Amino acid sequence: MVATTLYLSLRTRYNEEIHLKVEMFLKTYGTSKPKRYTFSEVKRITRRFKVKLGQGGFGSVYREILVPNKMLDIALGIARGMEYLHQGCNQCILHFDIKPNNILLDYNFSPKISDFGLAKLCARDQSIVTLTAARGTMGYIAPELYSRNFGEISYKSDVYSFGMLVLEMVSGRRNSDPTIECQNEVYFPEWIYEQVTTRQDLALAREMTQEEKEKMRQLAIVALWCI
C-alpha cells in the first residue's frame, strides 16, 4: 500500500515537471508560439494516433491528416508565393523546382517556397527564357523543359510543377509510384482526370463529408488546368 502511494506520488510529480517544462518551452516563443490542441483534437487529426513518425524529447510525434480547408489554404498560399516570384519582384524569378520537399510550413501552416538553387532570373517583361539543360525534379518537370516541341520555357513551367504538387495533395499519393500495378493509374494526371470526370473519391484514405469531397474535386480541376 505504501509502495503504491509512493509510486503514484512520484508519477504525479514527474507529470507536473513535464507540464512545467512544456509551459516554459512555449513561453520562449512569446506571441509566435505554436497553436495548442486538446487531446480530443489531436486524437481526431491523427486518426487515433494511427501513424507514429518518431519520438521527441517531449513525447511521440504522429502524422496528421490535413483537412480539405487547410489543404486549400496551403495551395492558395503557394500560388500567391509563385505570383510574387513571377510578378511581384523587381526581376522575375523562375523557380524550376516546385515540389513538396521545397514547400515549408510555419506554425500556422502558412507555406513558404524554399530552395532556389535551380532558379533563374529574368526581366519582368521577358516572357520566354532559354536553358541549356532541363532543370527540376522528375515528376514535376514541365514537358517543354525536355523538348522544345512542347513549347517555349516560361513561368508556366512553374505552374505545371504546381499543378502536379496540388494533384498529390488532393490524392494523397506520389505522382510517380512504382508500387502501382493497375495500368490505368500509371500516368498520374490521367488517373486524376478519370477520377474527376467519373466523380469518384480522389482521397480514398481520408474520411470526408460530401462538401469536403467537392472542394477536393474543384482543387483537382484547378490543378489539371495548370497541367
Residues labelled as active-site residues: 97
Convert 151-179 to b/e letters by CB count within 10 Å (16 or more is b). eebbbbbbbbbbbbbbbbbbbebebeeee
The Cα–Cα gap between 37 and 138 comes to 37
3-state secondary structure (DSSP) of residue 155: coil
- In the block, cell 467519373 appears at 198
- Please name the residues in contact with 126: beta carbons below 8 A apart, sequence gap of 6 or more: 92
- In the block, cell 490505368 appears at 184
3-state secondary structure (DSSP) of residue 113: strand
The Cα–Cα gap between 73 and 109 comes to 9
Shortest CA distance to 131 belongs to which of 96, 156, 173, 101?
A: 96
Please name the helix (run of DSSP H) or strand (run of DSSP E) that holds residue 72, with its range, or none. Answer: helix 68-83
